[in-house]
Structure 1
Amino acid sequence: MEWVAIISLIVVGIALIVVEIIFVPGTTVVGILGFGMVIGGIVMAFNNFGIRTGYAVAGATAIATGLALFWSLRTKPWRKLSLQSAIDSRVNEGALADLKVGDEGVAVSALRPAGKAEIGGKMYEVTTLGNFAPAGTHVKVIRISSNQVVVEPIT
C-alpha cells in the first residue's frame, strides 16, 4: 500500500509540473504543488524503505520527469503554440527600383531622423543623416542602400 501512495504522489506531481509548463505557465501554484508532491513521494520512499531504495526512487523520478518533460514538449498542444513556418520574403523587394540618387520629394511626416517622404509620386520610408526635418520640407535622395533611403533637406 505504501508503494501505491509513493508512486501516486510522484506521478501526479510530475503531471502537475507538466501542466504548469504547458497549459498554465506563469501561475506557479500548480508547479509548486507538483514539485511538493514529487518531493513528498521521494521522502516517503526514504522513510519507509531506507536509503538505498530512496535513492533509487529519486533517480527513477528524475529520469521519469525528464522523459515526461521531453515527451510533453513534443506533443501537439505545444506545437500549436509555436511558430512552424519560416518567413522567406523580403521587405520592399524591388520597391526602390524606380528611385535614384538625386531624386527630390517632400517630407510627409517629420523626419527625426526617420519618417515618410513622397518622392516621384510614391511614399517611401526615409532617414536623414541625423538632422531633424519638419513635415513639408523638400528633400533630396543622397544614398540608397539595400532597403534604406537616405535624404537631406534642400535649402
Structure 2
Amino acid sequence: MLLDWITVALLIGIGLLLIIVELIFVPGTTVVGILGFILTAIGIWIGYAALGTTIGHIILATTVLIGALTFVYSFRSDSWSHFALKDQNRSHVNEDTPHLLEVGEVGKTISALRPQGTALFADRHHEVQTRGEFVAPNTNVRIIRLQQNKITVEAIS
C-alpha cells in the first residue's frame, strides 16, 4: 500500500515537473510536455486502480488543483518576464540615402555570390545578389539592376 502511494506521488510529481519544464524551458509541444502529461495520467490511473475510486478522485482533484494553481501563480507572479525577450531591434535601413551606384557600373566580388554576397564598388563594400548563379570571389561583376536596397549583378566574362 505504501509502495502504491510512493509510486503515484512520484509519477504525478515528475509528470507535473516535466510539464512545468516544458512551459518554462522548452516552449512548444515537445516530447518533454507529452511525457509529463503521460506520467501524470499514469500516476492518476494507478491511483484509481491500486487505491480505489474515492482515493483516485481525490488524487485527480488534487493534481488538477496543483496544476491550475501553479499555472495561475506563474502568470500572477510575473515569473514569465524573466524568460521573455525584452530587447528591441531599433536598427533600420537608410532608405533616404540611395545607392551612389548606377546600372552598368563594374566592381569586383569580395566573397562568393551564392547567390548573395559582398562586392566592392568604388572602394565601398555592398551586399549584392545574382539572378541565381554562383559567382566566385575576385570576379568582375556588372550591376544590371538597382531596386531600392537590392543590387543585382552579373559576372563579366
Partner of 2:125: 123
Partner of 2:142: 140
How has the CA–CA distance of structure 1 residues 16 and 82 changed in structure 2, closer, same or farther, with 3 Å as cutoff? same
Letter of the 1:123 partner, please give it.
H
Q: Percent identity?
A: 28
How has the CA–CA distance of structure 1 residues 105 and 13 changed in structure 2, closer, same or farther, with 3 Å as cutoff? closer
Match of 1:97 among 91, 99, 123: 99
1:78 Cα deviation from its structure 2 partner: 3.8
Partner of 2:56: 54
1:123 Cα deviation from its structure 2 partner: 0.2
Q: Deviations over 1:109-141 (max 9, x none)?
A: 222322210012210111111233222222111
How has the CA–CA distance of structure 1 residues 65 and 120 changed in structure 2, closer, same or farther, with 3 Å as cutoff? same
Partner of 2:81: 79
Stretches of structure 2 that go unaligned for 5 or more consecutive residues are none
Q: Partners in 2 of 1:67 and 1:146 — Cα distance?
A: 53
Q: Partners in 1 of 2:18 and 2:114 — Cα distance?
A: 49
Letter of the 1:149 partner, please give it.
I
Stretches of structure 1 that go unaligned for 5 or more consecutive residues are none
Equivalenced residue count is: 146
1:82 Cα deviation from its structure 2 partner: 2.5
Q: Deviations over 1:36-80 (max 9, x none)?
A: 6x96588558866x5356325413421430331343366455422
TM-score, scaled to structure 1? 0.61
Is the contact made by 1:22 and 1:78 (CA closer than 8 Å) also made in structure 2?
A: no
How has the CA–CA distance of structure 1 residues 132 and 124 changed in structure 2, closer, same or farther, with 3 Å as cutoff? same
Q: Partners in 2 of 1:90 and 1:143 — Cα distance?
A: 22
Is the contact made by 2:145 and 2:152 (CA closer than 8 Å) also made in structure 1?
A: yes
How has the CA–CA distance of structure 1 residues 22 and 129 changed in structure 2, closer, same or farther, with 3 Å as cutoff? closer
SS of residue in 2 equivalent to 1:90: coil
TM-score, scaled to structure 2? 0.60
RMSD across aligned positions (CA): 4.2
1:81 Cα deviation from its structure 2 partner: 2.7
